[in-house]
Amino acid sequence: MRIALVILAAGKGTRMNSDLPKVLHPIGQAPMLAHAMQSGAALDPAHTVIVAGHGADQVARAAQQIDDTAQVVIQEEQLGTAHAVEQARPALQGFGGDVVVLYGDTPFVRAETLERMVEARKAHDLVILGFHAADPARYGRLVMAGDRLERIVEFKDATDEERAITFCNSGLLAGNSELLLDLIAQVGNDNASGEYYLTDVVALARARGLSVTAIACDEAETLGVNSRADLAAAEAVFQARARAELLETGITMTAPDTVHLAFDTVIGRDTVIEPNVVFGPGVTVESGATIRAFSHLEGCHVSRGAVVGPYARLRPGAELAEDTRIGNFVEIKNAQIDQGAKVNHLSYIGDARVGAASNIGAGTITCNYDGVMKHHTEIGQGAFIGSNTMLVAPVTVGDGAMTASGSVITRDVEPEALAVARAKQENKPGHARKLFEMLKARKEKRSGGNG
Ligand code: UD1
Ligand code: CA
């Protein structure tokens, strides 16, 4: 069965108290919306339709960045969830397959759960995703008769008896697109909120003698975000899930609760992550690497056997080959560090390549920015860059070359040459003693000779 996703994301999110549309607030450094879209992507949808309203331009831009085939439709006024799905009607014209409705602010629904919904659809005309709520609060209640769903009643419209039901509506639903749009056309707004409730399609379908069921998912999957507190809680859920998945796949974390992961962090087996490591987006770490404490990585690749940190910062475009060493207070940006090369202490390597087995001394800086443009530094294989070398880019240091400590390298260094670019040292015999004596005499005079 071909699937179309309709993702509701028009709501204002008043309680977020934000200029940013709610569905664009990040969890695991990806917009909430991306999480819903990613779960939905497991159904291999023929269409993905995002219903945007508040901040529609921003939402549309973000949606297309996540999936450039996504269509965005606008719900000018938020008149309810049925009215929201109604906006997808033109996009679904002539589609004929199944629609799965998701919420943009419900990021945790699992792909397997959506697959179960699609599976249940084979035996029923409509499938609702429900959950057994520890605290049913203001969720819509599912009124069941055996395994059949009779209707959904919104909290505001529910009797005390109905409010006692703990099987609740997640909001997600699956059904044939034509049937669903046909039912939606029948939905009115004569209820406690004056809104067009999507939930009303259940009773309408039952009145036509159609079969409707509700399947249950874990309550954690239905966690919605309405406030910054919810967002923080959702972040914690995301982190817990992501850490558990990594531990499961054979990664060692000595203090998992202190490791922060991004939605797309990829780490190979037998890699060790020490405490307080932060992964920004776009990080891949191969098997058997070690990321030591207090390191911050984003947009980078770390190969097998590399050791990073403690206190290292890998910025976008940092590419570490096998068995490289990046030590404390070292920043690497847009630079390829070839096999076995070492940058162990207090350095900045940006817009550069460091050849295999080269050693970069403490305090080395690639002076890559002239205030207007960025320039490249090329260091060959087996080179030795002395401590506190300034490499004023563009500049090349050849294979097997050396720079003397404290050098300011402004011209290329040919292979195997030693570049010394610092003021010559001069020693003046006895001058230190004389200077000390002079200074001490001056101090005594100032303090009036009494100590
Ligand atoms: C809805 C369900 C309720 C369910 C709950 C689960 C209805 C009538 N009620 O209630 O049964 O228990 O979700 O969280 O469907 N949206 C739009 N346009 C609109 C209205 C909403 O895009 O006009 C979007 C919102 O941005 C949000 C989602 O739809 O992503 C749900 O809307 P919301 O107003 O939060 O629904 P609830 O009242 O929570
Ligand atoms: Ca809600």
Q: How far is CA 435 from CA 425, 441, 447, 451, in A?
A: 18, 10, 19, 19
pLDDT tens digit sequence for 380-437: 999 999 999 999 999 999 999 999 999 999 999 999 999 999 999 999 999 999 999 9
Whole-angstrom Cα distance, residue 356 to residue 255?
33
pLDDT tens digit sequence for 302-342: 999 999 999 999 999 999 999 999 999 999 999 999 999 99
pLDDT tens digit sequence for 279-297: 999 999 999 999 999 999 9
**Does ligand 1 come within 6 angstroms of the Cβ of 226?**
no
Q: From the CA of 170, give the closest atom in ligand 1.
A: 6
Q: How far is the CA of 363 from the centre of ligand 2 (A)?
A: 53
Q: From the CA of 154, give the closest atom in ligand 1.
A: 11
Report CA Rg, the chain.
Answer: 31
Give nearest CA residue, ligand 1 atom 26: 11
pLDDT tens digit sequence for 336-365: 999 999 999 999 999 999 999 999 999 999
Whole-angstrom Cα distance, residue 171 to residue 158?
17
**Does ligand 1 come within 6 angstroms of the Cβ of 105?**
yes
The distance from CA 86 to its chain's CA centroid, rounded to whole angstroms, is 31
pLDDT tens digit sequence for 66-78: 999 999 999 999 9
Active site residues: 345
**Does ligand 1 come within 6 angstroms of the Cβ of 45?**
no
**Does ligand 1 come within 6 angstroms of the Cβ of 238?**
no
The per-residue pLDDT for 12 is 85
Which residue out of 37, 59, 81 has the highest number of ligand 1 atoms within 8 Å of its CB and is therefore the one to mutate?
Answer: 81
The per-residue pLDDT for 450 is 60
Whole-number average pLDDT of the chain: 97
pLDDT tens digit sequence for 415-427: 999 999 999 999 9
The distance from CA 201 to its chain's CA centroid, rounded to whole angstroms, is 36
The per-residue pLDDT for 1 is 81
Positive or negative: CA dihedral 133, 242, 41, 11:
positive
The per-residue pLDDT for 451 is 52
| Percent of the residues in the chain that have a pLDDT greater than 70, as a whole number | 99
**Does ligand 1 come within 6 angstroms of the Cβ of 78?**
yes
- Element spanning 71, H or E: strand 71-74
Q: How far is the CA of 146 from the centre of ligand 1 (A)?
A: 26
- For residue 310, cis peptide bond before it (omega within 30 degrees of 0): yes
Q: Which of 267, 264, 235 is nearest to 252 (CA)?
A: 267
The distance from CA 203 to its chain's CA centroid, rounded to whole angstroms, is 40
Q: How far is the CA of 96 from the centre of ligand 2 (A)?
A: 29
Give nearest CA residue, ligand 1 atom 22: 10
Rounded mean pLDDT of 164-181? 98
**Does ligand 1 come within 6 angstroms of the Cβ of 87?**
no
Q: Which residues pair with 291 in a beta bridge?
A: 273, 308
Whether the per-residue pLDDT at 189 is higher than 60: the answer is yes
Whole-angstrom Cα distance, residue 192 to residue 273?
52
